[in-house]
Chains A and B, each alone.
Chain A
Amino acid sequence: MSDERTPQVPTEEGRAQDPWGAQGGPALTPRGTPQKAPVTARRGDEIHAFPETAVGEGDVRTAGEAGPARGTSLWRDAWKRLLRNRLAVFGMFVVGFIAVAVLVGPAIIKAATGFTYDYIPPGQAVSYPPFTSPEGAFSWTHPMGTDAAGRDMLARVLQGGRISLMVGVISTFVSILIGVTWGATAGYLGGKVDDLLMRIVDVLYAIPYMMIVIVLLAFFGGRTPLQQIFLLFAALGAVSWLTMARIVRGQVISLKNQEYVLAARATGVSTPKIIFRHIVPNALGPVIVYATLTIPSVMLQEAFLSFLGLGVQAPYASWGSLAQEGIQNIAVFPWQLIFPGVTMALTLFSLNFLGDGLRDALDPQMRKF
């Protein structure tokens, strides 16, 4: 792994989750066989465990009850469990609120005050503190103040949220798409194919991904800022699927020898059906958890790329790029860091709660605590 990935902690963690992936050892949380599973094999799941969320709800189930045999009810069950988890609901609420604010907010601000993320007022650029009018009196015009060029921070934070969330969601989707396909193929087919596919993942880990981004942007450099942003999604997604592939592969390996899969195979169920009806739904828990972790990870990666000048294009901004800008002025205009920083941290905080809740909901084994 090249060192420039290090600021994005979930990536490191994701790697740490699966040192087994490379040699086909026990994978993450093999469900259904808790007694046989080495304690250590749980480590991946436990990283983000917040097990107390389940305590006191008196809802201890066994694997069999929530097992894949119940088909679609798995989802309803999971949803019910999720709703019972107050922190997860809280996380969901916050993320939902921010998503809505980011979607409709800029239009409301424009209607209310006339400011947009890229409007530079004429004359000398002045940074107003929050709730301050040009005369220094209290005012609702700029609730988050203005940035170094005099642009409304609230409008920029909301617009930046659009890009950051989009970067998070789209890149994560790309990473799920490639990662699940790659990992499931490697895990289920095993043997030489598995070896080859996973060596490719290892090699890709080691290539300096900054060079990849430089080359990508140089060759497909967007003509418009929007095209550039989509290219960024692709670039970020293309590198964040690696860990996903490892996780999925580990899951699939541990699942494919489970009794119920063997039973399905014995009764003559076709291979694709086994994979998609029996294995993939069971592997989804870690996938979803890791996906919620990938979102913050790519958001931070995007910030890092902006830090190097390879991220979103001006006058667009992202939370990451806003925070970068704010850091430079932290000693004089602290609000330029605080608002994007706090909004970003709040979103990530909520996403972590949501991810923990989802994992708990989808993986009833964890609920024994």
Chain B
Amino acid sequence: MFRFIVRRLLVTVPMVLVVITLTWALIRLAPGNFYASERKLPPAIEKNIRTKYGLDQPWYVQYGRVMRNIMTLDFGNSLRYESETVNDVLKRTVPVSAAVGICAYLLALLVGTTMGTLAALKQNSKLDYAAMGLSMLGISMPNFVLGPLLVLVFSLSLYWLPPARWGGFPSRSIVLPVLTLSAIYMAYIARLTRAGMLEVLRSDYIRTARAKGLTERQVVLRHALRGGLLPVVSFTGPALAILITGTVVVERIFALPGLGTYFINANLNRDEPLILGIVAFTSILVLVFNLIVDIAYGFIDPRIRY
């Protein structure tokens, strides 16, 4: 186990470096630069800018700078937003994305597992059909359609909730983004739970528990749920990593100052330090989350060995 963790952590470092290198190469290949705008700059002004940011140096010098930055985990200042360091941006945006993401995931977990468990217990009932039909709809409905529909109803017709913008956490402004984001996860979790529960409810140990004369409630809560929720756990790791690193579309629809918004704009603005910083952060996060899930798995299900 310990060796497994160490090996995985060791391999993470070179992988992040490779990711950064390739991303950096892509940025250099992409046409355009961070300072171009509608008015083409006089060449002399362009030269000033290139000198200021060291873009006139040979590529290996620039690459060396990137590598030094990643080693020290200090990506310097954004090119477009000169007075902001990349680390400032991460510090400010990650909590926003994480707040929305974690709330959405908790909501999805609560509703999804309840729906899934009930559906499994009452298999083939109307409740089951309704729950599963709804979750199928959740999977088929793109969030860029769902979000505006929620806005139309709750903000523009009923005037209950603000249609966009970040009002801090917690606040009313978080409700619609969370709902939009959680719909699809709710659907997945409901289906995962239902399937997991169905399998567990038919297993020998549940039969044994029932045979012992435990009440149905005890059987479900004490024994079945633990096994039935395992698929959900495996889903949680990667899903949470993605949720924390921001979900671009929802952040865009609701104009949230999260990591996703910054990342899209950084790409479109060719803001090299910002892109590299966010890519480094997200890739580390995803790799670590995957690792944590794999480890957690071993604890939950003793049959799994490394």
Contacts and interface: CB of A to CB of B under 8 A. Distances in A.
B15 A46 contact: no
B220 to A, nearest CB: 16
Contacts of B273: none
Contact of A296 (B140, B233, B245, B249): B140
A119 interface: no
A9 B199 contact: no
A40 B294 contact: no
Residue among B237, B238, B246, B250 with the highest chain A CB neighbour number at 10 A: B238
Range of interface residues on B (Cβ < 8 Å): 35 or more
Contacts of B293: 19
A97 interface: no
A25 B263 contact: no
A51 B123 CA distance: 10
B304 A330 contact: no
B144 A50 contact: no
A233 to B, nearest CB: 20
A43 interface: yes
Contact of B301 (A12, A23, A40, A52): A40
Contacts of A13: 188, 235
B237 to A, nearest CB: 6
Nearest to B286: A1
**Chain B contact surface mostly:** helix
Contacts of B239: 12, 16
Interface in A26-48: 26, 38-40, 42-43, 46-48
B242 A6 contact: yes
A5 B30 CA distance: 20
A46 B294 contact: no
Interface residues of A, number: 69
Contacts of B248: 3-4, 6-7, 304
A26 B304 contact: yes
A214 B27 CA distance: 9
A295 to B, nearest CB: 12
Interface string A199-231: 100110111101110110011000000000000
B144 A327 contact: yes
B137 A46 contact: no
3 nearest A-B residue pairs (beta carbon): A43-B231, A46-B195, A206-B283
A330 B148 contact: yes
Contacts of B267: 4, 208, 210-211, 214
Contact of B279 (A52, A208, A341): A208
